[in-house]
């Protein structure tokens, strides 16, 4: 399992505002270029979004489904990537003073990732998580002002 944490300089409500906006996933999920709602009301249990991954000239589409939500503490997703399988991605969200401690736990469920899961794969996921959580923090901080009001998504890079 790949578990990583990050302290975000905003309250949990600001993080939830970003997680609840399905079109923002393309701004902070590493490898994803865009995302949009697919079914249900995101992020209610069973709702889903689709996303696009670009690898050079190729584009691939995947789907993410909310498997469990306990707002404002937990969001568990299953990212489905067709023949590559699926992964469980869980956000544990904790108030930390006036900030938010987010703990990200990801592991493969099905497909080649699940069958070939090892420490090398976990290391690659850890590197991706480091960048992804940094991007998420930047989007949350740009999306909200100090008072928690939305001010725009800003750049994720």
What phi and psi, each to the nearest 5 degrees, are found at residue 107? -150, 150
- Examine residue 31 and state whether it is found in any structural domain, yes or no: no
93 closest CA partner among 19, 27, 1, 2:
19
- Examine residue 37 and state whether it is found in any structural domain, yes or no: no
| Total tally of structural domains belonging to the chain | 1
Residue 6 domain boundaries: 2-21+65-143
- Examine residue 123 and state whether it is found in any structural domain, yes or no: yes
pTM value?
0.83
- Examine residue 88 and state whether it is found in any structural domain, yes or no: yes
Distance (Å, rounded) from C-alpha 54 to C-alpha 7?
A: 29
- Examine residue 148 and state whether it is found in any structural domain, yes or no: no
Q: Give Dmax over CA atoms of the chain in angstroms.
A: 46
- Examine residue 151 and state whether it is found in any structural domain, yes or no: no
Distance (Å, rounded) from C-alpha 25 to C-alpha 19?
A: 8
What are the strands of the beta sheet with 74-80, ordered from one edge?
Answer: 2-8, 99-110, 86-96, 74-80, 58-70, 48-55, 32-39
**Inter-residue contact 71 to 56 (CB < 8 Å):** no
51 closest CA partner among 82, 92, 83:
82
The CATH number assigned to the domain holding 72 equals 3.30.530.20
In tens digits, the chain (157 residues) has pLDDT values of 678 899 999 999 999 999 999 999 888 988 788 888 899 999 999 999 998 887 788 888 889 999 999 999 999 999 997 777 888 999 999 999 999 999 999 888 887 666 566 676 666 666 777 888 999 999 999 987 644 555 444 444 4
- Examine residue 28 and state whether it is found in any structural domain, yes or no: no
- Examine residue 104 and state whether it is found in any structural domain, yes or no: yes
């Amino acid at each position: 399992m790949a578990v990583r944490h990050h302290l975000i300089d905003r309250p949990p409500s600001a993080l939830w505002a970003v997680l609840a906006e399905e079109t923002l996933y393309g701004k902070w999920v590493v490898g994803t270029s865009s995302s949009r709602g697919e079914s249900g009301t995101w992020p209610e249990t069973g709702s889903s979004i689709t996303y696009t991954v670009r690898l050079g000239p190729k584009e691939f589409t995947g789907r993410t489904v909310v498997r469990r939500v306990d707002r404002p503490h937990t969001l568990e997703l299953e990212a489905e990537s067709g023949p590559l399988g699926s992964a469980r991605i869980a956000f544990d969200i904790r108030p930390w003073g006036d900030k938010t401690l987010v703990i990200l736990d990801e592991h493969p469920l099905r497909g080649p990732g699940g069958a070939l899961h090892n420490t090398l794969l976990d290391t690659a996921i850890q590197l991706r998580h480091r960048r992804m959580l940094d991007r998420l923090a930047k989007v949350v901080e740009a999306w909200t002002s100090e008072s928690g009001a939305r001010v725009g998504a800003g750049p994720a890079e």
